[in-house]
A = this chain, B = another copy of it.
Amino acid sequence: MITDSSIKQYLEQKAALIESELLESLPPVWNIPDSLRESMMYSLMAGGKRLRPIMVLAAVEALNGSSEEALPVACAVEMIHTYSLIHDDLPAMDNDDYRRGKLTNHKVYGEAMAILAGDGLLTHAFYSIVQSYRAYGVPAEQIVEIVEDLSKLSGAAGMVGGQAADMLGEQGITGLEQLEYIHLHKTSDLIVFSLKAGGHLGGATPKQLQALEKFGEKIGLAFQIQDDILDVIGDEEKLGKPVNSDEKQHKVTYPYFVGIEASKEKVVQLTDQGKQAIIDAGFPYPDRLLQIADYMMSRDH
């Protein structure tokens, strides 16, 4: 039986692997203005659990595929996630000064450079995906599938749409249905992408791809509700931002509608539904995916 400490070790190992790849991801020979390069790398290397790129690798491994050739795609996911954080933190958006206990990008490099660092990371994610083709010979058809999925799931009908709905929600039009739209797109869509990309690279069957999609939607929503819960009851130091910061900004959260207890139950229920989808789809090595779901549910930061 795999113990709880071994999933922690797995996550740490994979995070270290991804970070060493990210460090190399902007080719040194490219002529990029120094402060743009610094600004991009500042946020890309600012820590975090690297859960999304790890999900790419875990999905490949669940199918007994090679996770090495998936590394550039895993890095691409982290670039998209990082750009979205930089832009979300801007004064015109959430206006946050700190993220994971460090100053936000625009507080260090100014607003103009933060906007451009985000644009640069977003664009570079697609370059990184192509490197799975260049460096490891992943078939072009698979790369095209992955580019299409990422552009859809992180774009106007995906993550960007979720962020837009979140902004509009601050103007007071949020109901529970609207909140689920926001969570689904702002959070689940990139998780779904990560899992599906791993699925494509690992040679998943259509049924397995569907299961990865369902798993991603469920644990993504659970992840975001857990985030809402931690924001209400969590420990300021562990979160790296002031507790209740969402409420201060008049952000409506899941516990606001149904209370803390029902929110906690929802997290458990969604996680179980997600895990069941994976169990039913017959992956040869599903354990890491299932453990990641449990880890996400039980995290305290």
A contacts, CB < 8 Å to B: 26-27, 30-33, 35-37, 40, 83, 87, 90, 92-93, 110-113, 115-116, 118-120, 122-127, 129-130, 133-134, 139-141, 143-144, 147-148, 150-152, 154-157, 160-161, 163-165, 167-168, 181
Residues of B within 8 A of A130 (CB): 144, 147-148, 151
Main secondary structure of the interface of A (DSSP, over half): helix
Residues of B within 8 A of A168 (CB): 33, 35
Residues of B within 8 A of A119 (CB): 83, 87, 118-119, 122, 160
Q: Quick one: copies of this chain in the complex?
A: 2
Can you report 25 residue pairs joining A to B where beta carbons are below 8 Å apart?
A27-B157, A31-B161, A32-B156, A37-B156, A40-B156, A92-B111, A112-B167, A113-B167, A115-B115, A116-B160, A120-B155, A120-B156, A120-B161, A122-B123, A123-B154, A126-B151, A127-B148, A127-B151, A130-B147, A133-B144, A139-B140, A140-B141, A140-B144, A143-B144, A144-B144
**A126-B150 in contact (CB<8A):** yes
Kindly provide the distance from the CB of A78 to the nearest chain B CB, expressed in whole angstroms.
Answer: 16
Residue of B nearest to A156 (CB): B120
